[in-house]
């Protein structure tokens, strides 16, 4: 019987062990999509305690605590940091077989050298021990990243952001390369609400373009794309439940946009045509810049009205959706490819029923010029766990070129989340090692080790071309 979290955690055979320890473990980390705070990195923020580092903003943990009957006072409310940690420690033993149990103890070991299981009995000692370490330079925001061998990461940034924090990060004497990502979701709202019109005013102010038509909206967005590019951005992202059902032949769109500017609510079909028109124009801008575009699809957000009203979005009330994806993706990407203006693209699926669908979609738009141009992205959010990642990798293997996969990302708001790359790498090595043991892959460690190193690091390095930012 193996010991929990020993050196061969998640590795079930000697081939997997060799692949992980001799190949995967040594690879630097390129984390090309996360929600880390540029402000915290710019100031090299020092966390007050592990609650500050671990529980603030982590809706994975918040969902688990609520499911365990923890009062909101100790989740997102006004409980003290130590009380909140105690309540998390009370919850952890009930997360057995949830990835939170693995992540929690991996993070305690990798960042703090703590082997004890977190529980109500060990909470006080662990809280004190981690608080002392978090005062050290080695455990500042930048220190935590360097501990995990993070070479490059990309934050998620709104077009109206002035990127001052990214500029300040460059002044850090020793830090990973940190680049912005362009996330225009708010610009695509098109719902005529007061919040949307306020956002357009912000976009107009920061771009210097008065937004009074679709053309001027695109002009403002082009200005921001140019600005982001100057500041090192090479990646865009979009988080929609589905690609908009855009009809390229739709007419009267500027007239409809005037109605949006007047605060009117349009029919869904019209909204989606407006969204699709602007998104298509953005994707052509990305292609012209040589960016990678990412599409995170399938989340059903803000299911709980009371939770949204009291706490706001991104507080743990989202779930998988069951949206129709194939036809919308096909039409949208085909429209871009038809004029050879389809950028490098990564699509992420949130419903496991659609894994094969997404994997086969990527094969429709590779062009024979760019290696792995159209990617099926790693399992994300609710699929960011052993079964979810294995399922994604199996679909990709069956339908495409697994060897060209650009690998893992954290998609996290936590500076303590980077052992998730280790988690992924161990699962990857075990998947391949098991195939070797079963006689389904050759026992050629040069061949297999090279593939593992590529998936963990080199594929992403070549794909995103961040070195061209220098």
> Per-residue pLDDT averaged across 9-36, rounded?
98
> Do 302 and 188 share a domain, yes or no?
yes
Is the pLDDT at 279 greater than 80? The verdict is yes
Range of the domain at 366: 156-385+393-400
What confidence category does residue 470 fall into, taking pLDDT thresholds of 50, 70 and 90?
low
pLDDT for 380: 93
Q: Angle 86-77-140 (CA atoms, 0-180°, nearest 5)?
A: 65
> Per-residue pLDDT averaged across 151-168, rounded?
97
Is the pLDDT at 81 greater than 80? The verdict is yes
> Per-residue pLDDT averaged across 325-354, rounded?
97
Strands 181-182 and 235-240: parallel
Which of 376, 400, 424 is at the close of a domain? 400
Is the pLDDT at 428 greater than 80? The verdict is yes
What confidence category does residue 364 fall into, taking pLDDT thresholds of 50, 70 and 90?
very high
Helices (H) and strands (E) in the chain, counts: 20, 10
> Do 352 and 459 share a domain, yes or no?
no
> Do 196 and 335 share a domain, yes or no?
yes
pLDDT for 468: 66
> Which residues, 6+ apart, have CB-to-CB distance to 195 below 8 Å?
189
Which of 344, 371, 400 is at the close of a domain? 400
What confidence category does residue 384 fall into, taking pLDDT thresholds of 50, 70 and 90?
very high
Strand extents, DSSP E, 21-85: 29-31
Are the C-beta atoms of 145 and 37 separated by less than 8 Å? no
Is the pLDDT at 183 greater than 70? The verdict is yes
CA proximity to 187, closest of 199, 175, 169? 199
CATH of the domain at 252: 3.20.20.140
Q: Angle 184-190-193 (CA atoms, 0-180°, nearest 5)?
A: 110
> Do 217 and 339 share a domain, yes or no?
yes
> Do 64 and 148 share a domain, yes or no?
no
> Do 25 and 56 share a domain, yes or no?
no
> Do 125 and 71 share a domain, yes or no?
yes
> Do 224 and 245 share a domain, yes or no?
yes
Structure tokens at 15: 């081939």
CA proximity to 313, closest of 323, 327, 299, 324? 299
Looking at the 3D structure of the chain, how many domains does it have? Answer: 3
pLDDT for 174: 84
Are the C-beta atoms of 265 and 212 separated by less than 8 Å? no
Residue, of 250 and 162, whose pLDDT is higher = 162
Strands 292-297 and 235-240: parallel
pTM of the model: 0.96
By three-state DSSP, how is residue 39 classified?
Answer: helix
> Do 295 and 428 share a domain, yes or no?
no
In angstroms, the CA 119 to CA 99 distance is: 16
> Do 339 and 425 share a domain, yes or no?
no
Q: What is the DSSP string of 418-432?
A: THHHHHHHHHHHHHH
What confidence category does residue 173 fall into, taking pLDDT thresholds of 50, 70 and 90?
confident
> Per-residue pLDDT averaged across 285-311, rounded?
96
Which of 84, 106, 136 is at the close of a domain? 136
CA proximity to 258, closest of 321, 200, 313, 324? 200
> Do 288 and 378 share a domain, yes or no?
yes
Burial of 397 (C-beta count, 10 Å sphere; 0-12/13-18/19+): middle
What confidence category does residue 422 fall into, taking pLDDT thresholds of 50, 70 and 90?
very high
CB atoms within 10 A of CB 383: 21
> Per-residue pLDDT averaged across 386-397, rounded?
98
pLDDT in tens, 215-260: 999 999 999 999 999 999 999 999 999 999 999 988 999 999 999 9
What confidence category does residue 334 fall into, taking pLDDT thresholds of 50, 70 and 90?
very high
What confidence category does residue 467 fall into, taking pLDDT thresholds of 50, 70 and 90?
confident
pLDDT for 167: 95
Lowest mean per-residue pLDDT among 11-25, 118-132, 454-468: 454-468
> Do 90 and 144 share a domain, yes or no?
no
Question: What is the residue-averaged pLDDT of the chain?
Answer: 96
What confidence category does residue 469 fall into, taking pLDDT thresholds of 50, 70 and 90?
low
Is the pLDDT at 105 greater than 90? The verdict is yes
């Amino acid at each position: 019987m193996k010991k929990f979290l020993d050196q061969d955690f998640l590795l079930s055979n000697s081939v997997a062990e060799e692949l992980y320890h001799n190949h995967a473990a040594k690879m630097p980390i390129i984390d090309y999509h996360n929600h880390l705070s540029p402000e915290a990195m710019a100031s090299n923020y020092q966390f007050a305690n592990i609650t500050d580092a671990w529980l603030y903003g982590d809706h994975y943990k918040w969902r688990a605590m609520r499911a365990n009957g923890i009062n909101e006072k100790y989740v997102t409310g006004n409980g003290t940091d130590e009380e909140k940690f105690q309540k998390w420690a009370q919850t952890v033993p009930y997360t057995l077989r949830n990835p939170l149990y693995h992540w929690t103890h991996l993070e305690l070991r990798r960042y703090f050298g703590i082997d004890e299981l977190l529980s109500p009995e060990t909470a006080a000692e662990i809280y004190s021990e981690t608080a002392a370490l978090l005062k050290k330079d080695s455990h500042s925001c930048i220190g935590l990243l360097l501990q995990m061998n993070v070479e490059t990461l990309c934050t998620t940034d709104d077009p109206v952001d002035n990127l001052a924090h990214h500029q300040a990060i460059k002044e850090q004497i020793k830090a990973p390369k940190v680049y912005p990502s362009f996330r225009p979701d708010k610009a695509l709202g098109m719902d005529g609400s007061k919040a949307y019109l306020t956002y357009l005013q912000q976009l107009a102010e920061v771009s210097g373009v008065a937004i009074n038509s679709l053309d001027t909206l695109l002009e403002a967005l082009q200005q921001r794309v140019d600005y982001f590019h100057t500041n090192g951005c090479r990646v865009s992202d979009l988080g929609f439940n589905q690609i908009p059902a855009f009809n390229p032949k739709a007419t009267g769109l500027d007239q409809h946009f005037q109605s949006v500017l007047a605060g009117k609510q349009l029919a869904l079909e019209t909204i989606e045509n407006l969204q699709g028109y602007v998104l298509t124009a953005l994707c052509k801008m990305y292609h012209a810049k040589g960016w990678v575009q990412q599409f995170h699809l399938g989340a059903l957000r803000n299911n709980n009205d009371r939770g949204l009203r009291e706490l706001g979005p991104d507080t743990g009330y989202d779930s998988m959706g069951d949206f129709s994806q194939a036809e919308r993706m096909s039409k949208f990407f085909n429209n871009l490819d038809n004029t050879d203006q389809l950028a490098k693209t990564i699509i992420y699926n949130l419903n496991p029923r659609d894994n094969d669908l997404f994997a086969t979609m990527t094969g429709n738009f590779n062009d024979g010029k760019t290696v792995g141009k159209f990617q099926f992205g790693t399992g994300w959010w609710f699929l960011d766990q052993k079964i979810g990642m294995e399922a994604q990798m199996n679909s990709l293997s069956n339908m495409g070129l697994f060897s060209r996969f650009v690998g893992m990302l954290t998609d996290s708001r936590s500076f303590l989340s980077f052992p998730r790359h280790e988690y992924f790498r161990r699962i990857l090595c075990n998947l391949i090692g098991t195939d070797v043991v079963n006689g389904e892959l050759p026992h050629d460690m040069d061949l297999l080790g090279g593939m593992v190193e590529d998936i963990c690091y080199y594929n992403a390095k070549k794909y995103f071309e961040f070195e061209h930012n220098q």
